[in-house]
Amino acid sequence: MKVRVRYAPSPTGLLHIGNARTAIFNYLYAKSNGGDFIIRIEDTDIKRNVVGGEQSQLDNLSWLGLDWDESPDKGGAYGPYRQLERLDLYKTYAEQLLEMGMAYKEYKEGSNKYAIRFKVPADKEYAFDDLVRGTLRFQSKEVEDWVMVKDNGIPTYNFAVVIDDHLMAITHVLRGEEHITNTPKQMMVYEAFGWDIPRFGHMTIIVNEKKKKLSKRDQSIVQFIQQYRELGYLPEALLNFISLLGWSPSINEEILSLEQIIENFDSSRLSKAPAMFDVQKLAYINKEYVKKLSHEAFVELCTPHLAKANIDISNQEWVSDLCLLLRDRTAFGAQIVTLHDEFFHEGFEIEQDAIEFLKTEPQALNVIKRFKRQLSMSSFDAADIKESIKDVGKYLDVKGKSLFMPCRIATTGMLHGPDLPKSLSLLGKKTVLNRIDKTLEILENMS
């Protein structure tokens, strides 16, 4: 039998990390078993639907690199793929259950409107072999007769999902742990109609570093795919990271392309333990992918972020050199702005460590003064600045740290940073000379 799985989002907002993971695992399950991946929109909770919700889900899934075989936008042999377009189907099946005596009407007081409740069989055990958790058992006496169709004629999730999964020939249902207790209700409907029950697999929750379940309101973690896109994360990296939330390959490798993930995907390696959302790990993985970009692609990734931060990008060569300079330290596109600002800020201060260093260097003041003199005559390209530093060294007979550190501190205020001649060339002569003057002032006030 051909494997058919589905991702069934409710169009109630942006694509969240947790939903993206559900989509990705279903996709991987389909691809690693030669099956079909279907997208169905569960829009019956009308009040919660948001305009553009469906489109944003689909856009972000394709940005992550997923594609699908059937969906509202693509169509397919099992459509329609939006629940609100399938109301007639639910009605037909609800009526059948009423006729079979397996459901009953519940009239709204003083009205001819009614809801339909499923009549839960007495004293029955519902057991299923969960792909992630093994055998799970539920007793029917713990479940009350539940509403299948509301009095406005709209089916509830637990009823519609069964009709759809059956009619769409879904073989495997991989979804979040929060649906475990819905599963016995759904099994009741399959059994009432005598339909085959798909194989279920419930994926573990995602927790933050404090082991608390990720909540959409938690501000400390960026949780929507759209936000990662806007921050300049790479889709391949995010997909790689999310696929490791609750799954691990048998090979000892974490940086995996989509092809490698599909090749190695094995649902028996889905974890029962909560998946930890490790922000540092995401940054690390993204950085690995950033490293692989060509220089041109890196510049292209960074430029919109610089522009958005009102940094002048009219000089392409300057932008290109800036990217080259900061590339090793950039984990995601927008970070280039922070790194730029750390360096190119207007106010100039000297770090305390750097001041301490200057105090221990008897030649520091002379080096800085001479450096200023050399720089004022320099053409200010990186090679020329490098020469200037050398000339200072020769003239004063100082070498190594005693030479380089005063030059760096007087122009950047810091002990560490990217390649100095290149950095200074990008900063420009006027800024650099002003900084040196400021340093001299600070040093004179100290003595």
User: Which of 36, 42, 130, 177 is close enough to bind ligand GLU by CB under 6 A?
Assistant: 42
Q: Alpha-carbon distance 262 to 416, whole Å?
A: 42
What number of CA atoms fall less than 13 Å from residue 366's CA on the CB side?
Answer: 13
Q: Is 124 helix (H, G, I), strand (E, B) or coil?
A: coil
Query: Omega of the bond prior to 11 within 30 degrees of 0, cis?
Result: no
In the annotation, is 211 catalytic? no
Establish if 10 lies at the interface with ligand GLU (CB under 6 A): yes
Contact segment (CB under 6 A) with ligand GLU among 6-14, 291-299, 350-358, 370-378 equals: 6-14
* Least distance CB 430 / ligand GLU (angstroms): 57
Establish if 36 lies at the interface with ligand GLU (CB under 6 A): no
Q: Alpha-carbon distance 159 to 153, whole Å?
A: 12
- DSSP codes of every residue in 44-100: --GGG--TTHHHHHHHHHHHTT---SBBTTTB-TT---BGGGGHHHHHHHHHHHHHT
* Least distance CB 212 / ligand GLU (angstroms): 20
Nearer to ligand GLU, 9 or 421 (CB): 9
Contact segment (CB under 6 A) with ligand GLU among 3-11, 277-285, 326-334, 385-393 equals: 3-11
Contact segment (CB under 6 A) with ligand GLU among 7-15, 86-94, 321-329, 438-446 equals: 7-15
User: Which of 58, 64, 148, 161 is close enough to bind ligand GLU by CB under 6 A?
Assistant: 161
Smallest CA-to-CA distance from 139 within 100, 187, 98 is with 187
* Least distance CB 209 / ligand GLU (angstroms): 25
User: Which of 4, 5, 8, 61 is close enough to bind ligand GLU by CB under 6 A?
Assistant: 8
Establish if 340 lies at the interface with ligand GLU (CB under 6 A): no
In the chain, the amino acid numbered 69 is D
Q: Alpha-carbon distance 38 to 227, whole Å?
A: 25
Looking at residues 168 to 197 of the shown chain, list those that interact with ligand GLU (rule: CB under 6 A): 175, 179
Neighbour count for residue 439 (Cβ, 10 Å)? 25
Nearer to ligand GLU, 42 or 236 (CB): 42
Question: In sequence order, which residues have a C-beta less than 8 Å from that of residue 279 and are 6 or more positions away?
Answer: 209, 221
Q: Which residues bind ligand GLU (CB under 6 A)?
A: 8-10, 42, 161, 175, 179
Catalytic residues: 216
